[in-house]
């Protein structure tokens, strides 16, 4: 076993980390596209080490993030928001609507806080699979843009400590006017220092084609009044009960771990000719000095699509 390790799942060593592919859709992206991801890193050495992460890839520019000290035998999560950038591939770069490329994530461990005495390096190759959902090769099988003023079959449920989720259409943040879908996650009175988590979900029957993708544009925030303090933590996207993507991570700290107040895009592959439930769960950490105030998390989605070829 390597003395340090970088993973993209919650699977613990010594089990192998599942292969990970990052799926992306070029439609309506800006000329320069940004890549963010959540990693999990491990210190298998017998001393504490200072960790740093960067990357490499043709056409990409990567940041370098100092992760700080990690004790011997410990592991930690880090959300790398806007970690890398590259020029958006053009439609002509994606023959038949698709293209794959590889990037390398590079984890380094140092013995000193100045990051000068390098002890270990660990590299992880990740495939980036681009699609162009507007390409003629793809069929749009589902488009939920909520512009008819309804939730179009989506529902909300409490997962933890938040019994009053409210789901409806909204006009405050949209990708296609006039409406998006908005989840408001109400607090549970009488608790202090707890995770609040709700999800939205909908079932779909996928087409009988070899390639099927769901494209999810989402946005998160949090709200509170009075003596309420809220930290935005994570979004988990599942196919039924299987976790496909996690953005950010949960901990009981007074620190945001999830990007908020901006639109993010997630693309996930789906099995063909199958009924699946897509779930999008959002967590915040809440500290309430007094009960009875409105507080919780916020989640929007718009222009949700399923495409196939």
Decide if 26 contacts 131 (C-beta within 8 A): yes
Residues carrying CATH 2.60.40.10, the chain: 4-131
pLDDT of residue 164: 78
Tell me, which fold does domain 139-308 have in CATH?
Jelly Rolls (2.60.120)
Over residues 133-144, the mean pLDDT reads 98
pLDDT of residue 152: 98
Decide if 186 contacts 162 (C-beta within 8 A): yes
How far is Cα 280 from Cα 262, in angstroms, rounded to an integer? Answer: 17
CA-based nearest residue to 282, from 219, 191, 215, 228: 219
How far is Cα 259 from Cα 79, in angstroms, rounded to an integer? Answer: 9
Q: If 0-12 CB within 10 Å is exposed, 13-18 middle and 19+ buried, where does residue 264 land? A: middle
Decide if 268 contacts 216 (C-beta within 8 A): yes
pLDDT of residue 191: 66
Which residues, at least 6 apart from 16, have a Cβ–Cβ distance to it below 8 Å?
none
pLDDT of residue 302: 98
CA-based nearest residue to 57, from 107, 132, 126: 126
Q: How far apart are the first and last CA of the chain?
A: 41
Decide if 93 contacts 99 (C-beta within 8 A): yes
Each residue's pLDDT tens digit, 264-308: 999 999 999 999 999 999 999 988 766 666 678 899 999 999 999
pLDDT of residue 295: 72
pLDDT of residue 255 exceeding 90: yes
CA distances (Å), origin 171, targets 73, 175, 232: 48, 10, 22
Please list the residues that pair with 237 across neighbouring strands: 245, 280
Over residues 222-241, the mean pLDDT reads 88
**Average pLDDT of the chain?**
94
Residues carrying CATH 2.60.120.260, the chain: 139-308
pLDDT of residue 288: 73
- Residue percentage of the chain with pLDDT more than 70: 96
Each residue's pLDDT tens digit, 165-204: 899 999 999 999 999 999 998 766 666 788 999 999 999 9
CA distances (Å), origin 237, targets 130, 240, 245, 246: 19, 9, 5, 6
Question: Would you place residue 224 in the very low, low, confident or very high pLDDT band (cuts 50, 70, 90)?
Answer: confident
CA-based nearest residue to 162, from 262, 299, 304: 299
CATH of 4-131, one of 3.60.15.10, 3.50.50.60, 2.60.40.10, 3.30.56.10: 2.60.40.10
């Amino acid at each position: 076993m390597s003395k340090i390790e970088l993973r993209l799942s919650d699977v613990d060593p010594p089990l192998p980390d599942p292969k990970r592919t990052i799926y992306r859709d070029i439609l309506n992206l800006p000329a320069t596209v940004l890549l963010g991801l959540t990693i999990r890193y491990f210190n298998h050495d017998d001393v504490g080490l200072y960790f740093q992460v960067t990357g490499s890839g043709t056409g990409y520019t990567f940041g370098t993030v100092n992760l700080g000290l990690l004790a011997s035998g410990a592991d930690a999560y880090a959300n790398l928001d806007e970690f890398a950038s590259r020029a958006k591939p053009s439609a002509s770069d994606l023959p038949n609507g698709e293209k794959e490329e590889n990037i390398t994530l590079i984890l380094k461990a140092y013995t000193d806080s100045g990051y000068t005495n390098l002890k270990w390096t660990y590299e992880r190759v990740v495939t980036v699979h681009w699609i162009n959902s507007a390409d003629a090769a793809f069929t749009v099988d589902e488009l939920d843009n909520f512009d008819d003023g309804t939730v179009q079959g989506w529902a909300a449920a409490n997962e933890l400590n938040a019994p009053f989720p409210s789901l409806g259409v909204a006009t405050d943040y949209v990708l296609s006017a006039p409406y998006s879908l908005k989840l408001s996650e109400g607090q549970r009175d009488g608790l202090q220092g707890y995770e609040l988590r709700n999800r939205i979900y909908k079932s779909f029957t996928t087409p009988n084609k070899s390639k099927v993708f769901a494209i999810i544009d989402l946005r998160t925030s949090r709200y509170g009044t009075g003596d309420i303090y809220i930290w935005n933590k994570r979004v988990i996207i599942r196919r039924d009960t299987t976790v496909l993507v996690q953005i950010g991570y949960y901990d009981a700290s007074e620190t945001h771990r999830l990007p908020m107040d901006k639109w993010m895009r997630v693309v996930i592959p789906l099995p063909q000719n199958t009924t699946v439930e897509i779930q999008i769960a959002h967590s915040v950490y809440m500290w309430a000095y007094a009960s009875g105030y409105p507080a919780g998390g916020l989640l929007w989605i718009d222009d949700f699509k399923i495409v196939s070829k």
